[in-house]
Amino acid sequence: REVGRDAASIMSILELADREDVDVIVVSGLKASDVIRKTLDLAMTDRLVIATMAADSIPHALQSIIAAYPEDQRANAQSLLSEALQGVVCQQLVKRIGGGLILVPELLIPNTAARSVIREGSFSQLINITQTSREHGMIARDTVLAQYVQQGVITLQDARAYAHDPEQIETMSRRY
């Protein structure tokens, strides 16, 4: 189903998806609180829900989802999100030395530790989890930035501008 063709709004489409036997739901540009809440509700069913939103980091994306809930419902929303979440990809484009842009990805694949901090609402701890869980397939933005600096792909100044921990980028770039 498509907004404009099959229904007038994203919310109408999500309501239709809830009533129909669909396996995959894709929601582009999560912004409105009611749409965010309905999307999480649908993710708690046996459906694959893929959603996009504008956010500059994984913690900020998850904080935005929880902020869509009234204060008295946020603890429950954190619990639901910790159960439903299958992964988060955050992408930044950084200026490449010599021209153009290069993609700097960040990937969270929720493990026990990540689910626990999401449930607690300690989203900033997810940065440390991505940095220490490479063996689980996670990608830390600062690690990628440091590798790009070491490889001469981006400047240290640009890496610092996009880093979660700008002070560590120079040290990290010497390791790679």
- State residue 170's pLDDT score: 83
Evaluate whether the domain defined by 85-175 bears CATH number 2.40.10.10.
Answer: no
**Model confidence at 174: pLDDT above 90:** no
Long-range contacts of 45-53 (CB under 8 A, 24+ apart): 45/18, 47/17, 47/22, 47/23, 48/23, 48/24, 48/86, 49/24, 49/25, 49/84, 50/24, 50/25, 50/26, 51/26, 51/27, 52/27, 52/28, 53/29
Residues 6+ apart with CB under 8 A from 139: 105, 106, 107, 130
Q: Which residues pair with 26 in a beta bridge?
A: 50
pTM for the predicted model, two decimal places: 0.89
Residues 100-149: tens digit of each pLDDT: 999 999 999 999 999 999 999 999 999 999 999 999 999 999 999 999 99
Cα–Cα dist 148/156, whole Å: 9
